[in-house]
Amino acid sequence: MTAALDIQGLRKSFGQTEIIRGIDLSIGRGERHAIIGPNGAGKSTLFNLITARFPPTSGSVSLHGRNLQGLAPYQINRLGLSRSFQITNIFPKMSVFENVRCALLWAQGYRYSFWNMVSRSRALTEGAEAILDQINLLQRRDLPAGVLSYAEQRALEIGITIAGGADVIMLDEPTAGMSHSETDYIVELIRTVTEGKTLVMVEHDMGVVFGLADRISVLVYGEIIATGKPADVRANARVQEAYLGAALEADH
Amino acid sequence: MQSLDKTQTRLEGGVSMKTAMPWIVSAVMLVLMPFIFQSNSAITIMNQMAITIVFALSYNMLLGQGGMLSFGHAVYMGVGGFVCVHVMNWDIFGSIPLPLLPLLGGIFGMILASLVGYFSTRKAGTVFAMISLGVGELIAACSVIIVVFFGGEEGVSGDRTYGMPFFGVEFLSQIEVYYLTAGWLLISALLMYLFSRTPIGRMANAVRDNPERAEFLGYSSRWVRYNSFVAAGFFAGIAGGLFAINYEILTEENLNLTTSGSILLVTFLGGVGVFFGPVVGAIVFTLLQTVLSLETEIWSLYVGALFVATVMFFPSGLAGVMQMHIVPIKLGKWRLLVMPYIVTLVPAIVCILGLSGLIEVLFHARHAAIGETEMTLFWVTFQHTEIWPWVVFALMAALGFWLARKNAPQLMEAWHKANTPDGADT
């Protein structure tokens, strides 16, 4: 069985600075994989390389065995990979409902159609409402997305990401800047909406990933220093030295 | 809160009485207008209005719906119009019913847009704006170079009456042209509205708001923009065809930067955020252009001032200002606004009249022929050499300003109250 996501020798330099310094990582189907690491480790850059937001300097990324090199973000999305962003990235002037409905259009086969009326499609309306129900935003349906609270916008971001039914979901720090209760809510949300899907998430908050992830990779200065089950990673001496120790100290 | 039955009506979607009503009212209005305003000049103005509305709506497909600021949209209208006026001069015209001619303009506008859009819609923002400016200038410059097509400085003229009679109608009179134009206006506006409700129309909004996110939803931002651009070119071409029928002449003026700039002004004045915004803009602008220009030579100064004021104080345009009143009306609190509006707006209007009076007297004093000191303003005839008109206008301006300023806080407060539901804490 081919891996859902397979990364080989991935490197990225910005000018003289090498941010991603050779990453090999294979993520199986249905796995919940977390990438953790200190600030500036290159977590978001890794995400941007996988989803073709930036071109890699060298190396390759494959989705279900298919090399993604040279593909544009929208083409990668059509292959079944969807991502969220660390900085909330929604359609602020459109209504909450409209945000989700737009995320459904391609997946439901509407493509660039100018002969269908979106409001006449029961599948679109019900699909969007089902997602809104899942992310608890039904009551905010008709508000412009830009006026939602921060946590609601983050939930909407996840809603948009999962709406298209992609089987590989990538979440970039979904709980960034949230309170404890909001974090618990989002983690529960992630757990339910990614049921049966491959999840790759970047996280800064340790507590979040230890409960959620099947496997964890620790990224430090553009390299993965450990990959494995949460308990094994926690016990790994290099990880403790490079990241956990410092973070745990900071926590206490 | 969301009630379930509300969702149900939404689901049935498509055509309901509520969505069809504005269109039925508009259609009836268009039919009745010539009976209300019967004079020839009024019909001429209405024809011009209808053409401007189609053009402005097409422009808003770019600016309002797709987030593309174009400085060269007149090109597509102009080229569509030129094609139509050339067809009028061909023998084949005798076998084409005139009402179909705008379609031809639309097709050529669309062809040009599909060529230009291929490279101009790659990026939105400044790049798009600059390319549109360049292409606009390029084609306007061509009009004096390619004389065969653009007719040089005198343009190309034709005669619409050579067309095949359409159910016996030969379009000799203005009123026949009016109904032709109004019919196309209704069809075009409806099609443009429906376009905004299709998947591609919705995605045009998404790409406008956040092109990058749209890409991560499976849509190529460029292709979405390209589609809107081509569609906008089509409807601009239709406006061009209508122009050709109405005026029977097209010149360089129809595709130059001035025309492109003024349609931006019209659309923004009306409001880019609402579908009917450009309609309001086109009506107001055409009225100013035709009626105000009869009264004063410096009408464009006032239009310019209005535009600046709109951009600064009401960026959502006239339609946006109208929409702002939906909440107070829904809350049943609009009555709170009536008095504050009167005590603020009447002095404001007096102030504006005073200021424009000063400008007019000054303009007359500087630019009238030597020895001609008599002028008529606001139905009063006086000499600009006298002192009293200056004093009266200055007093009007000062007093009006002072009163409006004094009462403005009252209006703000009333506005706030009218927008606050009962029971909600302020």
Within a domain: B146: yes
Helix-then-strand count for chain A, H and E: 10, 10
Q: How far apart are CA B64 and CA B195, in angstroms?
A: 13
Q: How far apart are CA A185 and CA B307, in angstroms?
A: 48
Shared-domain flag, residues B409 and B314: no
Tokens of A142: 């008709």
In order of A116, B11, B69, the CA distances from B200 in angstroms are 9, 20, 19
Shared-domain flag, residues B320 and B336: no
Within a domain: B334: yes
Percent of chain A with pLDDT over 70: 95
Question: Which of B277, B309, B324 delimits the end of a domain?
Answer: B324
**What DSSP element (H or E) covers A45?**
helix A43-50
Looking at the 3D structure of chain B, how many domains does it have? 2
Question: Which of B307, B324, B341 delimits the end of a domain?
Answer: B324
Burial of B375 (0-12, 13-18, 19+ CB in 10 A): middle
- Each residue's pLDDT, cut to its tens digit, for chain B (426 residues) gives 334 444 444 444 556 777 888 899 999 999 999 999 988 889 999 999 999 999 999 999 999 999 999 999 999 999 999 999 999 999 888 888 899 999 999 999 999 999 999 999 998 899 999 999 999 999 988 888 898 899 888 899 998 888 888 887 888 888 999 999 999 999 999 999 999 999 999 999 999 999 999 999 999 999 999 999 999 999 999 999 999 999 999 999 999 999 999 999 999 999 998 999 999 999 999 999 888 888 888 888 999 999 999 999 888 999 998 988 888 888 888 888 888 888 888 999 999 999 988 888 888 888 877 777 777 777 878 877 788 888 888 999 999 999 998 888 888 888 888 888 776 544
Q: What is the dihedral of CA A78, A83, A88, A89, to 10 degrees?
A: -10
Within a domain: B6: no
Shared-domain flag, residues B194 and B340: no
Q: How far apart are CA B244 and CA B88, in angstroms?
A: 9
Shared-domain flag, residues B373 and B239: no
Within a domain: B71: yes
ipTM of the complex: 0.90
Within a domain: B15: no
User: HSE-up of B407 (CA within 13 Å, CB side)?
Assistant: 18
Which residue in chain A is spatially nearest to B231 when comparing CA positions?
A: A114
Within a domain: B152: yes
Shared-domain flag, residues B277 and B335: no
A contacts of B206 (beta carbons < 8 Å): 91, 94, 102
State the pairing for strand pair A17-27/A5-14: antiparallel
Q: How far apart are CA A227 and CA A103, in angstroms?
A: 33
In order of A12, A142, B15, the CA distances from B316 in angstroms are 44, 19, 28
In order of B114, B183, B325, the CA distances from B94 in angstroms are 30, 22, 51
Shared-domain flag, residues B320 and B331: no
Shared-domain flag, residues B292 and B384: no
Shared-domain flag, residues B269 and B384: no
Domain around B347 = 327-418
Chain segment B82-110, per-residue pLDDT in tens? 999 999 999 888 888 899 999 999 999 99
Give Cα A44 distance to the centre of its chain: 10
What are the extents of the domains in chain A?
5-251
pLDDT score of A247? 57
How long is chain B? 426
Within a domain: B11: no
Shared-domain flag, residues B172 and B212: yes
Within a domain: B1: no
Q: Amino acid identity of A79?
A: L
Chain A residues within 8 A (CB-CB) of chain B? 51, 53, 72-74, 77-78, 82-83, 85, 89-94, 98, 101-103, 105-107, 110-122, 125-126, 129, 138-139, 141, 160, 164
* Contact (Cβ atoms closer than 8 angstroms) between residue B59 and residue B70: yes
Question: Which of B302, B324, B346 delimits the end of a domain?
Answer: B324
For domain A5-251, the CATH class is: alpha beta
| Chain-chain contact of B223 with A112 (C-beta, under 8 angstroms) | yes
